[in-house]
Copies of this chain bind each other. A is one copy, B any other.
């Protein structure tokens, strides 16, 4: 039983938890840079955060220019803002993009030297953060990862640092009430993917498995709501909780070649991250069933599926029309994925041919 586990974020979960815990905000410092996206602000979360800060007499500045798949330019701009404002801490509001961007901004606020930020060392010199997820997928609120668009390498690249763990994550499903159905579905698939991929990691252990199975069990109960696109408050709470559980998993295990491949579908085809994972997951597990049948069965079964085919059948209606990408192009994606660090992180070896097979069967053009 060999494993390591670390997840130092204080999780505060419940209706109106942002406003009800003003004293937790007070402990973070006097000046807050709020990092969010344009649309992340519409669900009431920004108002709640400003209300909590205001009640404490804390000052804030809002930086709401985070796009989907945040760029290096936007986090550099955020870093400049944090420094000029003299922020003591950062509040990130939104899905994975604002939360991941906030981590890089927190780093740049303290360490900016103009160099390649993907090569920055993970020192502890990072502004403390509070994260408020408004989608239920990324789990970024409980991970040490920031994933940014890397134009130089034409992919998305993850930066990892223990100091990227937020101090506090506030989970309130009410912020998902206005979430578009597609976003709800794709982010839920992302969470499922995290839990399943985490179990395949070389770093998986008893504790991360227990968390992953708990996440998959909750998600399986939400299958009906996701398919119907109708959610009670309890459904939203459950989805958010499951996403955080799955985040606790990947915080300790990392992800798998599914993410390595998915980054190309996002970078070159604009596939939302969770959808990209969902497109690839069944064929990825088809290979796992061949190479590591017992573990593949255990994971699929924890997710509620007897085989990768059942998983495929369940996901297909949620993913929309598939991309149809040429074999030549997919060959370049397979090559790119084959050198991603997630390959070594997987307990099942995926060589370039395996990756190519998964890509062709998932999003290949009939030729």
Q: Would you give the shortest CB distance from A283 to chain B, in whole angstroms?
A: 30
| Copies per assembly | 2
A245–B1 contact, CB under 8 A?
Answer: no
A219 interfacial by beta-carbon distance below 8 Å: no
A159-180 vs B, Cβ < 8 Å mask (1 yes, 0 no): 0000000000000010000000
Partner of A10, one of B4, B10, B241: B4
Closest B residue to A16 by beta carbon equals B2
Minimum CB–CB distance from A308 to chain B (whole Å) comes to 26
Of B2, B210, B241, which is within 8 A of A1 by CB?
B241
A227 within 8 Å of B (CB atoms):
no
For A59, list chain B residues within 8 Å (CB). none
Residues of the B chain whose Cβ atoms lie less than 8 Å from the Cβ of A17: 2
Question: How far does the Cβ of A208 sit from chain B's closest Cβ, in whole Å?
Answer: 11
Q: Classify the secondary structure of A's interface with B.
A: mixed
Nearest B residue to A13 via CB reads B3
Residue among A1, A3, A211, A245 having the largest count of chain B Cβ atoms under 10 Å: A1
Question: Does A44 reach chain B (CB closer than 8 Å)?
Answer: no
Q: Determine if A4 and B12 form an interchain contact, defined as CB atoms under 8 angstroms apart.
A: yes
Given A210-B211, A241-B206, A245-B210, check contact A13 B7 (CB 8 Å). Answer: no
Q: Mark A1-37, 1 if CB is under 8 A from B, else 0.
A: 1111111111111110100000000000000000000
Q: Which one of B1, B210, B237, B238 lies within 8 Å of A173 (CB-CB)?
A: B1
The docked-state distance in angstroms from the alpha carbon of A234 to that of B238 is 34
Q: Which of B1, B2, B8, B15 contacts A238 (CB 8 A)?
A: B1
Assess whether A205 is interfacial by the CB under 8 Å rule: yes
Distance of A64 Cα from B183 Cα, bound (Å): 58
Rounded to whole Å, the gap between the CB of A17 and the closest CB of chain B is: 8
Q: A206 vs B13: C-alpha distance in the bound complex, in angstroms? A: 10
Q: Are A5 and B1 in contact (CB under 8 A)?
A: no
Is the CB of A214 closer than 8 A to any CB of chain B? yes
Q: Which residues of B have CB within 8 Å of A313? A: none
A135 nearest CB across to chain B (Å)? 17
Question: Which residues on B sit within 8 Å (CB–CB) of A234?
Answer: 1
- For A205, the closest partner residue in chain B by CB is B13
Distance, CA A2 to CA B238, complexed state (A): 11
Q: In the assembled complex, which residues on chain B have CB atoms less than 8 Å from the CB atom of A237?
A: 1
- How far in angstroms is the closest Cβ of chain B from A3? 5
Tell me if A207 is interfacial: C-beta within 8 Å of chain B. yes
Contact of A13 among B1, B10, B11, B12 (CB under 8 A): B1
* CB within 8 Å for A11 and B2 given contacts A210-B210, A211-B210, A214-B210: no
The answer on a CB contact under 8 Å between B1 and A11 is: no
Show 10 residue pairs from A and B whose CB-CB distance is below 8 angstroms, ordered by the A residue.
A1-B13, A1-B173, A1-B241, A2-B17, A3-B13, A4-B12, A13-B205, A13-B207, A207-B245, A210-B210
Q: Which 5 pairs, one residue from A and one from B, show the smallest C-beta to C-beta distance?
A: A2-B14, A8-B8, A210-B214, A5-B11, A1-B237
A residues engaging B (CB < 8 A)?
Answer: 1-15, 17, 173, 205-207, 210-211, 214, 234, 237-238, 241, 245
**Known A2-B17, A6-B11, A210-B245; 17 more pairs at CB < 8 Å:** A1-B13, A1-B14, A1-B173, A1-B238, A2-B15, A3-B14, A4-B10, A4-B11, A4-B13, A6-B9, A6-B10, A7-B7, A8-B8, A13-B207, A207-B245, A210-B210, A210-B211
